[in-house]
Amino acid sequence: MNAAGSFERIVRAAVRRPLLVVAAIGLLALAGGLAALRLEPRAGTDTLVGRGSDTFRATDDLHQRFGDDAVYVLVRGDLTKIMLTTDLQRLVGLEGCISGNIPRGAVAPGGRSGPCAALARSKPVKVVYGPGTFVNESVRQIQVQLAGRQQVSVAQADAAATAARKLGAERGYSKARQEKVAAQARQLVQTQFAISLFQQAARYGLSATDLPRLDNPGFVSQLVFDPARGYNQPKARFAYLFPSKDSALVQVRLRPDLTERERREAISLVRRASEMPQWRLRASRASYAVTGAPVVVSDLTQSITRAIVVLLVAALLIMAATLALVFRVRARLLPLGVALATAGLTFGGMALVGAPLTMASIAVLPILIGLAVDYAIQLQARFEEEGPDGDPARAALRAARAGAPTIATAAGATVAGFLVLELSPVPMVRGFGLLLVAGVVVAFLCALTAGFAALVLSRRSARSLPAPFGAAAGALAPAVRGAGELLGGMARAVRELLLSLGPARRAAERVRAAGRGALSASLRRPGRVVGIAVALAVVGWALDTQTKVVSDLPKLVPQDSRSLRDLQALQAATGVSGEVDVLVQARDITDPEVVGWMADYQRQILQRYGYSDTRPCGKAALCPGFSLSDLLGSAVSNGAGQQRIRAILDAVPPYFSRAVVSPDRRTATLAFGIRLMPLDEQQRIIEDMRSRLDAPPGVTARLAGLPVIAAQANKGVSADWRRMLTLVAGLLAVLAVLLAVWRRLDRALVPLVPIALATGWSALLLFLVRIPLNPMSVSLGALVIAISTEFSVLLSERYRQERAAGHDLEAALRRTYRSTGTAVLASGTTAVAGFAVLVLSDIRMLRDFGLVTVVDLSLSLLGVMVVLPAVIVLAERGELLALPADAARRAWGARRRLRRARATA
């Protein structure tokens, strides 16, 4: 009674000044919608795993020290025609452009408005290393070493000449002979220096004419290619730069502090730079492709955002048409207006508090619209039951007193179902649940205030409104009335047209006959109806673990996506699509024991997953990435001491060393390229790698990187036991709310039984039609429970009211389904129609999400409409409490039989 009084007071305040309430909420919703336009999609690693997890901390440490996960510029073409021609200089220019290294005072290639200048201004790139820079730096370092050794040789030659001259003077040689002896000594030192240079060149496979220059094909060939493997085969130790004879890789690591917008802009600039004519390769069929996991995620986020906008418009049109056809009242489109206001206020609130917009939170929109439409339809149906005559404000108060408490109870149970999503290990899913909870509260309040205010306005004449709104309403009333009459006429025309068609008329007749037959069957044989429903649900629960969860990224994104094509090209050319890093931290990373362990671990893992010099990346699950061992070369295998290791690192240009070892020499990385594969298979490899991290005492080794985070997130949402736990927890949460409100177990079980059974039917149908689950739709079990609770609670409580009014069981059921049942059918059909629009999407993730939702909601609606009457009859007979125990026994037995069958197979 207190709750009913509270709702009545809220409605009384709303209908006292209805135009003011409608205008205020409309303006707030419009402002919220405009604010929501500024929301930026976010796909950071903290949306996939919690910030407190070891995987996130390791990946964050990796990014802070060495930059974000790599964006690859794939260089496609014959390496001999790229590396041994002027194309090499173009490649050096592209890498310098991407890194933002423009000499002071120089004009950037492409001008001040070009991508090179933009990259130099914003400096979004932390590290760039690729084949061009590698060769260029090698030339520079060798030249620096030669210049240093030459200076030492000149000094030694001068010292030898001075010593020889002095010795000749002591022996009494003439001045001419002293100079001759000095010249001979100088020549001897210079000859020795030349011999050492030839010996050094021979050790590197260079001839006397192969000077270390960028434009020297002989030098570059000896540096890059391995004649023992073939004249065009790159050296195996440079696989991170030259994965095959037809490809090279430029790795671009962006700064970790970039926002999502800045990251997208940086990727766009890298793409634009690769398309500049200055860097276009002249070799036949040579080209660039910018790709990598960050590029795919960024493009996927943008494509989903664009698709949601288009699909939202389509969904609104479809839902408007559905309401016009199935909701036979005067202001039939009013629920859609309430839904739009709800969406504007909810997403505007997100912008106000700075909440992130993830891919999961985008999917809130159709769910929220469906729920808001449902609340508005139910309250409007109660309002229309009060009759067209009389004071509309009084009718609104009576409708609120009769219907609002029941709808509030259903909304509370829905909120409880959504809160179960907080059990998910994925922050994105938890945020999804919280946003739905906030949206349900906003939707109920909008329906209670703006909904009733608009209904009162629709019945009042403009002259009856208080000043100063009367004149404005009077001016608008004819237009609004005309629009309503036009829409109503169109809806009637469409309905009559459909019903005039033979198939449509027969289908409508069959639906009505089926409804009457189902209700009659539930009244005559309720036990049989429920028994069949339980049996089907038990089979579905047993088969639920057999439904495939698709986590293969190429199967989830648009197939014509440029980033997907480039990622597939990357794997085809190099055998890898991403990078798994082992972050190693120690007091001193140059300790020979630490370096030796890192080299042994890398060798062991590569051998385990099929990589060798004769079996390159394309045929192995893992292949080597740029790591500390690549900088140290053969020094580790030759047992170099700590002093030698430090000397090697000191000689390596910081440009390269900072990509794999921190300046304080306390952190280093081991990188492994990983093939594009389903996330569950990727997770098995990562877990195996983690189990073999037996680091020496005092050394910490952790796996990090986007592939590690993605695989862990997928494991968290797709585990069979977690899906079942979510279902059970959702049902228990709804039951707890209903018990708290009604304080009777039998009364709470009545609306819950059809919902629980619908989860089993859904699993059965999904198994039969082979609709796969994906990371978005795998948590829909909780959503179905939450949404279906609304339908079931409304019908069961309306039945109780009809019984309290003195009607017998059969009459109460028939009156319930004629009144509230019609409204439930209208709102359910509208929600299903809205989700069905997602099936038209070219993004498979959204398309499958829409299919699964349509299946789940349709079955839930069917369960409520068909099974609920039978459950009510059993509850009247006192036989309802036996159902849960019987269903649990059957489900447990079916699962055991299925497990035995699988073990035997």
Under the banding of pLDDT at 50, 70 and 90, the label for residue 468 is: very low
**For residues 799 and 812, is the Cβ–Cβ distance under 8 A?**
yes
Q: What is the mean pLDDT of residues 865-894?
A: 71
User: Tell me: the pLDDT tens digits for 278-331?
Assistant: 999 998 888 999 988 788 777 777 766 666 666 667 767 777 776 666 665 666
Residue 476 clears pLDDT 60, i.e. is over it: no
- Mean pLDDT taken over the chain: 78
Q: Which residues contact 812 (CB under 8 A, 6 or more apart)?
A: 799, 802, 803, 805
Strand order in the sheet with 622-624: 622-624, 667-674, 578-585, 700-704
Question: Is the pLDDT assigned to residue 470 strictly greater than 50?
Answer: no
- Give 612's Cβ-side CA count (13 Å radius): 5
What is the Cα–Cα distance from 175 to 3, expressed in whole angstroms?
Answer: 120
Indicate whether 743 pLDDT > 80: yes
- 876: Cβ contacts below 8 Å, ≥ 6 apart: 809
CB 137 within 8 A of CB 656: yes
How far apart are the C-alpha atoms of 857 and 834, rounded to whole Å?
11
Q: If pLDDT is split at 50, 70 and 90, which confidence band does 793 have? A: confident
Task: Specify the residue for token string 């095959």.
Answer: 244
> Does residue 42 have a pLDDT over 50?
yes
Average pLDDT score over residue span 215-242: 83
Average pLDDT score over residue span 527-551: 78
In this predicted structure, what is the pLDDT of residue 266?
Answer: 93
pLDDT category of residue 482 using cuts at 50, 70 and 90: very low
Give the pLDDT confidence of 157-201 residue by residue, as tens digits: 778 778 878 888 887 878 888 788 778 777 776 676 666 666 656
The confidence score (pLDDT) of residue 688 equals 93
Q: Which residue from 421, 362, 410 is spatially nearest to 781, judged by alpha carbons?
A: 421
Burial of 807 (0-12, 13-18, 19+ CB in 10 A): middle
In the numeric block, which tokens belong to residue 436? 């739905």
Q: Are strands 125-129 and 287-291 parallel, antiparallel or unpaired?
A: unpaired
Tell me the pLDDT band of 509, cut-offs 50, 70 and 90: low
Three-class SS string for 171-221? CCCCHHHHHHHHHHHHHHHHHHHHHHHHHHHHHCCCCCCCCCCCCCHHHHH
Smallest CA-to-CA distance from 708 within 58, 135, 87, 159 is with: 58
Tell whether the model's pLDDT for residue 263 goes beyond 60.
yes
Mean of pLDDT values over 259-284: 90
Question: At how many degrees (to 10) do helices 469-500 and 18-36 cross?
Answer: 70
- Other CB atoms within 10 Å distance of the CB of residue 517: 12
**Distance, CA of 849 to CA of 776 (rounded, Å):** 7
Nearest one of 27, 79, 327 to 226, comparing CA atoms: 79
**What is the percent of the chain where pLDDT is above 70?**
76
- In angstroms, rounded to a whole number, what is the distance separating the alpha carbons of residues 355 and 362? 12
Does residue 697 or residue 178 have the better pLDDT? 697
CA 581 from centroid of its chain's CA atoms? 21
* Angle formed at CA 626 by CA 596 and CA 284, multiple of 5 degrees: 145
What was the pLDDT predicted at 483?
45
Find, among 714, 767, 837, 737, the residue nearest to 310 by Cα: 837
Task: Give the integer Cα–Cα distance in Å for 235 and 230.
Answer: 10
The answer to whether residues 577 and 674 touch, using CB atoms and an 8 Å cutoff, is yes
Rg value, the chain, Cα: 36
| DSSP annotation of 879 | -
Mean pLDDT of 492-508: 51
pLDDT digits (tens, 9 = 90+) for 588-638: 988 888 888 998 999 899 889 888 777 767 678 888 888 887 777 666 666
Q: Which of 606, 610, 589 is nearest to 701 (CA)?
A: 589
Distances (CA, A) of 430 to 47, 50, 426, 454, 540: 9, 10, 6, 35, 27
Residue 112 DSSP SS3:
coil
Instruction: Report CA-CA distances (Å) from 901 to 222, 542, 892.
Output: 61, 12, 14
Q: How far apart are CA 470 and CA 455, in angstroms?
A: 17
> For residue 37, with 0-12 CB atoms within 10 Å meaning exposed, 13-18 middle and 19 or more buried, which class applies?
exposed
Handedness of CA 788, 790, 793, 799 (dihedral sign): negative
Mean pLDDT, range 479-494, rounded to an integer? 49
Written as six digits, the tokens of 739 are 């018990």
Contacts of 507 (CB under 8 A, 6+ apart): none
State which of 200-214, 438-452, 885-899 shows the largest mean pLDDT.
438-452
759 φ/ψ angles, rounded to the nearest 5 degrees:
-65, -35
pLDDT of 463: 40
CB atoms within 10 A of CB 76: 21
d(CA 644, CA 675): 35
**Confidence at 240, pLDDT banded by 50, 70, 90:** confident
* Per-residue model confidence (pLDDT) at position 481: 46
| Contact between 418 and 435 (Cβ < 8 Å) | no
Tokens of residue 849, six digits: 């999400």
Mean pLDDT (whole number) for 672-684: 82
- Return the pLDDT at 124: 93
872 in Cβ contact with 751 (< 8 Å): no
574 pLDDT band, cuts 50/70/90, is confident
- Residues 6 or more apart whose CB falls under 8 angstroms from that of 191 comprise none
- For the chain, the distance separating the N- and C-terminal CA atoms, rounded to the nearest angstrom, is 60
Instruction: Give bridge partners of residue 71 from the DSSP assignment.
Output: 252
Of 8-12, 89-93, 576-580, the poorest mean pLDDT is in 576-580
Residue pair 637/627 in contact by the 8 Å Cβ criterion: no
At 204, the pLDDT band (50, 70, 90 cuts) reads: low
